A and B are shown apart, each in its own frame.
Chain A
Amino acid sequence: MPFGNTHNNFKLNYKVEEEYPDLSKHNNHMAKVLTKELYGKLRDKQTPNGFTLDDVIQTGVDNPGHPFIMTVGCVAGDEESYEVFKDLLDPIISDRHNGYKATDKHKTDLNFENLKGGDDLDPAYVLSSRVRTGRSIKGFTLPPHSSRGERRGIEKLSVEALTSLDGEFKGKYYPLKSMTDAEQEQLINDHFLFDKPVSPLLTCAGMARDWPDGRGIWHNDSKTFLVWVNEEDHLRVISMQQGGNMREVFRRFCVGLQKIEEIFKKHNHGFMWNEHLGYILTCPSNLGTGLRGGVHVKLPKLSTHPKFDEILTRLRLQKRGTGGVDTASVGGVFDISNADRLGSSEVAQVQLVVDGVKLMVEMEKKLEKGEAIDSMIPAQK
């Protein structure tokens, strides 16, 4: 944040013990890793944009966490955060992303033709399909740290890029601050509208400053491709439709993303990416692909089977309620999506969803007929 930590050098007048946060009640990735010694080592550092260690960890200090859910507890304020504070962030990344090492390389694959199948998930079970990711624009700081001028710069570039799209991507931008009541109503009905963050995980990291300045929603005319500007990341890109044709959703996702990226590159503001961390986003949990590909699927029988969670783990999938993360499922309908973000490509992650969901629907059908599914339990992927 641009305030509260602009006097980093003055804090050095206080001893490490005096400034080190009390993490005794805390259960998040940051609290697991940040020892007093590490705090002492990193506290005099700043990124070139002035983001400090206290800025990185503030959200994790203010939100001790939940006994069952492991939150990350830290954010990046700019691209350089991941380098300047690597002694803290590398172990967190490794812990969060299945042992991903500081020397590992991440593979990006947005060629939808590399996906096998995925166009025939049974719509009697698979109600809708969706793929989302985030993108950060090089040359700007990230939402926890960006100034109003930068946020507006991001919005301006985004609006230019998005309004130049045509064909199936022709659409319109709705800035939050000048939306009409009718537009707002429509966007709510379409389930497109995002609101000012209320989660303290986000507000404590400074992401809600100056709301709703510089924030908005763009979507194409057919309402199958949607971009959020300046919410938790610079851009959140979503491709979605009713039914089980994940292949089509992923095609549109890849094509649209690449069109947008080209336009940003032309303006000398490509997306933040490197060969170690893949796409750079605000939260370390979204590094790599930043991709969550998922379906809303009816699994009333399978979800009550004792091996349901084990199957999900083996398939590298996770379940959520249909209201999103931390909600309960309703009527046996689950949100099933990939668990991984870093260390495997977009195609690989969507493939896991396609193959995994196909298998689970087969299992559901077997259970409906009263048959066993033991022979179908998959190996660990």
Chain B
Amino acid sequence: MLKISSNMAKLTLKRLSAEEEFPDLSQHNNHMAKFLTLDIYKKLRERATPNGFTIDGVIQTGVDNPGHPFIMTVGCVAGDEETYEVFKELLDPVIEDRHGGYKPSDKHKTDLNPSNLKGGDDLDSNYVLSSRVRTGRSVRGFCLPPHCSRGERRAVEKLSIEALASLSGDLKGKYYALKNMTEAEQQQLIDDHFLFDKPVSPLLLASGMGRDWPDARGIWHNDNKTFLVWVNEEDHLRVISMQKGGNMKEVFDRFCTGLTKIETLFKERNHAFMWNEHLGYVLTCPSNLGTGLRAGVHVKLPNMSKHAKFEEVLKKLRLQKRGTGGVDTAAVGGVFDISNADRLGFSEVELVQMVVDGVKLLVEMEKKLEKGQSIDDIMPAQK
């Protein structure tokens, strides 16, 4: 007899048997397809979260997008905070596989105290062109983008506007709602590289995140254009701190200060951010759990990137490379986007420290290679 906990609702939809409904995952290569067996599906289809999110809602994006032979997509999303509890039989193994063996009993540490970061203000700006830190936040009490209604999304927007409007000093800024942006505002936001558009990726559309576009979506940024918040795109909030040059410390400082201020404002309105001591910050995609943090630089490494041990060095430093157009783009002119590979199981300070220390080392290596010197003696140990 299935015990229905207070976190679950009984599902009453008329459907056929589990065997008849089980998706065909034979062509699939994503985390969800690796772990969703018929037995797990049979068990989980009897449940729904208190907000009515079902296993089919969790997995639809992974069913519709078989994946890529080289890129392992996650293939599942959360529709609300309770998803991670109600569907843990599927999501725990997915999380473990995606986050370096993170166990259901592990605890995640949050550290948004920027003074704990050592150094980071002196990355050589001849090589480090820009620095950026981003994360996501979910507002407790609302369903997540795959499942939220228009009313919920608008409420998230309203709360966000209130909270952001009360920021001051170098964080003072303005909100631009996507649906009534002027042509001039739109052009400016495009030129600043701030504007986000309706998702075209089938990974996002298949999970329902494009519904009702552009209702209740918008962009807020401070007057200095160094702190930016996206509202209701792939997560309730995406928070970005960025600037030219190599002063990652200042970027991280502003990031932590701004985030902490915003969190306080939300808490005051009885809508804290979704967080727990096992998963850290709860976000739509399981790949973003923990810190949800990607800290990175655009850095010139034309010699280093051609070195036979480049990939190995990145791996040891727990970093990943991308082209400067973002994930899946190619590097242009030897300039790479280098960022932390981890999200869960390390704190924010730890991850940014890895980027700061790692990029410092990579730049040293680049300089040595420029002078025709070997870098064998400065190869790092596995972090």
User: Which of A's residues lie within 8 Å of B, judged by CB?
Assistant: 1-4, 6-11, 14-15, 18-22, 49-50, 54, 58, 61-62, 147-150, 152-153, 177, 203-204, 208-211, 213
Nearest A residue (CB) for B206: A209
Q: Is the CB of A3 within 8 A of B79?
A: yes
Nearest B residue (CB) for A2: B56
Q: Is the CB of A21 within 8 A of B215?
A: yes
**Which of the residues A6, A9, A153 comes within 8 Å of B53, measured between beta carbons?**
A6
Nearest A residue (CB) for B215: A22
Q: How far is the CB of A242 from chain B (nearest CB, A)?
A: 37
A204 to B213, CA, bound (A): 11
Q: Is the CB of A149 within 8 A of B53?
A: no
- Give 19 A-B pairs besides A14-B152, A62-B210, A209-B63 with Cβ atoms closer than 8 angstroms: A2-B13, A2-B56, A4-B147, A4-B211, A6-B48, A14-B155, A15-B151, A18-B151, A18-B155, A19-B149, A49-B14, A54-B149, A58-B211, A62-B211, A149-B20, A152-B20, A153-B20, A177-B24, A209-B64
Given A147-B16, A147-B21, A149-B20, A3 and B60 contact (CB-CB distance below 8 Å): yes
23 contacts between A and B (CB under 8 A): A2-B57, A3-B146, A3-B147, A3-B208, A4-B57, A6-B57, A7-B51, A7-B53, A9-B52, A10-B51, A10-B149, A11-B151, A18-B150, A19-B149, A20-B150, A58-B211, A147-B21, A148-B20, A149-B16, A149-B21, A153-B16, A204-B210, A204-B211
Which residues does chain B contribute within 8 Å of A21, judged by CB atoms?
A: 150, 212, 215
Is B344 positioned at the interface, with any CB of A under 8 Å from its CB?
Answer: no
Is B306 positioned at the interface, with any CB of A under 8 Å from its CB?
Answer: no
Is B288 positioned at the interface, with any CB of A under 8 Å from its CB?
Answer: no
Q: Is the CB of B15 within 8 A of A147?
A: yes
A209 to B64, CA, bound (A): 6
Which residues does chain A contribute within 8 Å of B54, judged by CB atoms?
A: 2-3, 6
Encoded as 1 (CB less than 8 Å from any A CB) or 0, chain B from 1 to 29 comes to 00000000000011111001111100100
A54 to B151, CA, bound (A): 12
**Which of the residues A3, A18, A152, A211 comes within 8 Å of B154, measured between beta carbons?**
A18
Q: How far is the CB of A245 from chain B (nearest CB, A)?
A: 42
Q: How far is the CB of B226 from chain A (nearest CB, A)?
A: 32
Which residues does chain A contribute within 8 Å of B154, judged by CB atoms?
A: 18
Which residues does chain B contribute within 8 Å of A177, judged by CB atoms?
A: 24, 27
A147 to B45, CA, bound (A): 13
A97 to B211, CA, bound (A): 29
Q: Is the CB of B149 within 8 A of A210?
A: no
Which residues does chain B contribute within 8 Å of A49, judged by CB atoms?
A: 13-14
Q: Is the CB of B13 within 8 A of A213?
A: no
A-B pairs with lowest CB-CB distance, top 4 = A7-B52, A14-B151, A3-B57, A149-B16
Q: Is the CB of A203 within 8 A of B211?
A: no
A362 to B193, CA, bound (A): 60
Q: Is the CB of B147 within 8 A of A7?
A: yes
Which residues does chain B contribute within 8 Å of A210, judged by CB atoms?
A: 23, 63-64
Which residues does chain B contribute within 8 Å of A213, judged by CB atoms?
A: 23-24
Is B259 positioned at the interface, with any CB of A under 8 Å from its CB?
Answer: no
Encoded as 1 (CB less than 8 Å from any A CB) or 0, chain B from 328 to 345 comes to 000000000000000000
A197 to B77, CA, bound (A): 23
Q: How far is the CB of B8 from chain A (nearest CB, A)?
A: 13
Q: Is the CB of A62 within 8 A of B212?
A: yes
Given A4-B146, A6-B53, A148-B23, A50 and B215 contact (CB-CB distance below 8 Å): no
Which residues does chain A contribute within 8 Å of B152, judged by CB atoms?
A: 14
Q: Is the CB of B15 within 8 A of A19?
A: no
Which residues does chain A contribute within 8 Å of B56, judged by CB atoms?
A: 2-3, 147
Q: Is the CB of B179 within 8 A of A10?
A: no
Q: How far is the CB of A13 from chain B (nearest CB, A)?
A: 8
Q: Is the CB of A11 within 8 A of B15?
A: no
Q: Is the CB of B205 within 8 A of A203?
A: yes
Q: How far is the CB of A156 from chain B (nearest CB, A)?
A: 10
Q: How far is the CB of A278 from chain B (nearest CB, A)?
A: 27
Q: How far is the CB of A144 from chain B (nearest CB, A)?
A: 13
Is B143 positioned at the interface, with any CB of A under 8 Å from its CB?
Answer: yes
Q: How far is the CB of A313 from chain B (nearest CB, A)?
A: 36
Q: How far is the CB of B211 from chain A (nearest CB, A)?
A: 6
Which residues does chain A contribute within 8 Å of B146, judged by CB atoms?
A: 3-4
Which residues does chain B contribute within 8 Å of A1, judged by CB atoms?
A: 208
Given A2-B57, A62-B213, A211 and B149 contact (CB-CB distance below 8 Å): no
Which residues does chain A contribute within 8 Å of B53, judged by CB atoms?
A: 3, 6-7
Q: How far is the CB of A9 from chain B (nearest CB, A)?
A: 8
**Which of the residues B13, B52, B151, B212 comes within 8 Å of A61, measured between beta carbons?**
B212
